[in-house]
Structure 1
């Protein structure tokens, strides 16, 4: 966990809350740059919670980075985004992949997460009359305890993702067990890649332009609709350790055939972006790349899981990632958005805003599907019964 001096906080936003859990927490807002420096040591840090990422990805919203402490020790935090609603009808507070725990190893980690959420409810829903909207990570465990806890706090189930599955590879295994975990097909392709004369290396941040060139050529060739946060790449690569993503390449001879950017802070490494040229497929370079990324993460970080992200509805990605997850990893859904409002008006306009957003996103995807030049999703959207209650 992290211990931070009181004078590093913005004293203009300070509060102390005792929730139903009985845990006393102090919450204080910090500046964006300070926030990014603080959360680098968190077990549950993720790129969406970084000020450098969020301010670039969502420039129309204001950021309120909140640190929670107990007895002078930082126990977690949440970057809250204040979203103005159309026509000046109000604002809503959005929290994505948080609250984050500084340490998942403390005995009352689950209770601390609830206590942090209670602080958010008191501040944003009760005091400031906003709808508070929380989107939690997919949990490696079979039951998403965070989702269950927030439902018990009175949060209402909201929007769901069309393709919520997230594919997670277990990192802390020796080479033999890792390879054995892969599906038979995935392992066979990796064996072929091992014989293709490929070389893997960890690149320097300054080599990012080579990745951009590879990525641009790939997106043009594959014609995938890109709904990613690729525009944040420069901001991410300008960060200091440990938040700056790692850049990896695979080459054959003098030619770079594949590359990947991987977020590696905390206990959950995340595959951000990958790129290949037209020679990568017959060389099975993607298999070779991920195999060595997994080993590098295991040996050089404290990561427990390698989160491969989702599929955006493409069956080929599902098959590739499922084979890599194998027997030791897990495939888990991102739970629905959870919303909390004490004001009827906040609930009404917040719900309407989400309905309009979902309609816009579905319409955009439908239009992408009608464009003959773009690859079309071929997976069936999922409905997760365990989250319907």
Structure 2
């Protein structure tokens, strides 16, 4: 197979995405409109005249060397990862280097391990187990990891699972072939109790466009949980861009109790996959379980839309009961889904000297941030 990589229009890219069952929302043309601080392009892989693969490339320039860029394909590209990767990624590297990229960063949407909810709960209870990777798992995707390493790609996966890129470990709820009753039965007792408690308390979940109201609660959540919130303009841009592609691509869910907003969440859907992308909750009235009500509403809508998977996005791989991060996986494991490890993000240096300079710049910037804290 001889493949050629060349630019494609946003319309061609979107048509390709619509023909796929599983594509990350980070690989849709709309995502380029969200990440306005990056220069972007859509690239297509052609086998003769047939478009057989596509990728959204975000270009980040090097400070003081703006003619060189880091070419980033988050959770992509959309290619046959079971095929000959030389044939797929070789033309990509040649094309991007010729157009000024000093390195490529990509995140293959390839699983390398899964753990059931039961395994995760047992691991947390076992003091000898501290990480997901201490548990047995069906190993998949090893050939992709081996090929990347052999071809000179460098892993960028932080040990705790979270870094500047997208998470290597996620928590996902399988939906294919299941009913609402099946999914509810698969949840743990606490989740089922909380969903019932929210309904009994009169929590109402609606969808709408009250982004300013959501953002106010999101900022409140950020202050409480100590993370840096995104500005309102970011969400306004995201909703506008994604709805141009598909009216139902993105939805805002709001949970109210006696007229007060107690929780809100954002769900994104592409093809057969849905994602819980952002969430917010009030410190008050937590006993009415608005967050569980939002999650159940999103899961039900994902089921109704025929989705195969509902992703609760990133987790850390820790199972150490004394680690403060373990609460994240404990909340998500209650859905009865599974923890998933992906290949993670990898870099291919195309201009090693520039790549090293970029790495130095990032380390210095991180050091400055830490000193300001």
Q: Check whether TM > 0.5.
A: yes
Correspondence 1:157 to 2:154: yes
> 1:248-278: CA deviations, max 9, x gaps?
2222243332221111112321111112223
8 Å Cα contact 2:171/2:311 also seen in 1: yes
| Structure 1 residue 47 corresponds to structure 2 residue 25 | yes
Over the residues paired in the alignment, what is the CA RMSD in angstroms? Answer: 3.3
Q: Flag structure 2 segments of 5+ consecutive residues without an equivalent.
A: 115-139, 162-167, 317-323
- Between the two structures, name the one with larger relative contact order (CA 8 Å, sep ≥ 6): 2
Aligned counterpart, 1:224: 226
Deviation at 1:362, TM superposition (A): 7.2
1:322 aligned partner: 333
Aligned CA distance change for structure 1 residues 165 and 231 (closer, same or farther; 3 Å): farther
Residues 19-51 of structure 1, C-alpha deviations (whole Å, 9 max, x = no match): xxxx23343313457645653443333333344
Describe how 1:52-201 pairs up with structure 2 within 5 A: 52-57=30-35, 59=37, 61-70=38-47, 72-88=49-65, 90-101=68-79, 110-111=82-83, 115-125=87-97, 130-137=102-109, 139=111, 142=114, 143-144=140-141, 147-148=144-145, 150-151=147-148, 154-161=151-158, 162-163=160-161, 164-172=168-176, 173-201=178-206
Q: Which moved more, 1:226-235 or 1:177-186?
A: 226-235
Q: How many residues align?
A: 329
CA distance in 1, matches of 2:265, 2:371: 29
List alignment gaps of at least 5 residues for structure 1: 1-22, 102-107, 371-389
CA distance in 1, matches of 2:271, 2:152: 27
1:142-188 Cα deviation digits (max 9, x unpaired): 42357436426614233223324211111232223212222333333
Q: Matched residues in 1 for 2:185 and 2:112: separation?
A: 20
**TM-score by structure 2 length?**
0.74
Aligned position for 1:5: none
Q: TM-score with structure 1 length normalisation?
A: 0.72
Q: Pick from 254, 276, 298 the counterpart of residue 259 of structure 2.
A: 254
Inter-partner Cα distance in structure 2 for 1:122 and 1:288: 49
